[in-house]
Amino acid sequence: MEYPKIHSLYKRHGWYFDQDKKKSPDYQKGRQSFIVGDYAEPEFGNIKRWRIDEKIDGTNIRIFWDRDVAMDGPLNVRFGGRTKDAQIPCHLLEYLQNHFTKERLEAVFPFDTATRGVLFGEGYGPKIQACGGNYRKECGFILFDVNIGGWWLKREDVKSIADQLLIPMVPDLGIMTEEEVVEFVKSKPLSQCSITPHVMEGVMCRSEPLMLFRNGKPIQFKLKCKEF
């Protein structure tokens, strides 16, 4: 299960595919600028309240767990990147294997809870993106979503799982309107989970209360500070 693709709030003016013109900075200027008011998804315009999380500049990580009921429920754990072909940095994979052991996950997800689930988060820290060392001194994993048996968990339940697994969860920035979100991102706020002050990458915004697209994916968007 891959994490649903997340669009920005607005559509963009688009990419130019002329190979020669792509080399011209003047021609490329503004090629990804927003078309303000033209929503990337029409549903966005109907949402009045958004739950805001800090967006972390790292590498997307999925932690899968499942159990074979026919074999009396032994727990299996595996790790993946954003897609099935994504490569996980060696030092990050070593951390994941050492921290997310079968025993630790079994304690949080005992036999009588569910047969499968996915933890979604960001691998972050030194040697992961240019600003990775600003977040922490060693690589780690920060949780932002959980799906168990096809169900997306509420934020308070995700936080409870993070606490039990002894890992951080992305900072909760509160509930805002669309206008408040845009103004907040424009203000270039500092990251709330960094040991060295730096402007946060951006925000992740999910409808409050949680609502889904017709395909069952959460209604959510992202905005990056560098886009304003």
The residue extents of the domains of the chain are: 7-55+172-227, 59-164
Residue in 145, 181, 156 with CA at minimum distance from that of residue 60:
145
Could you tell me the CA-to-CA distances from 163 to 6, 36, 57, 159 in Å, in that order? 26, 39, 22, 6
Q: What is the CATH number of domain 59-164?
A: 3.30.470.30
Residue in 53, 155, 67, 48 with CA at minimum distance from that of residue 105:
67
User: Among all chains, which residue has been given the structure tokens 């997307």?
Assistant: 60
The 10s digit of each residue's pLDDT in 155-188 is 999 999 999 999 999 999 999 999 999 999 999 9
pTM above 0.75, yes or no: yes
Dihedral sign (CA 205, 207, 212, 215): negative
The 10s digit of each residue's pLDDT in 62-96 is 999 998 765 566 789 999 999 888 899 999 999 99
Beta bridge partners of 199: 190
| Rounded CA separation 227/37 (Å) | 15
The 10s digit of each residue's pLDDT in 18-47 is 556 556 666 555 556 788 889 999 999 999
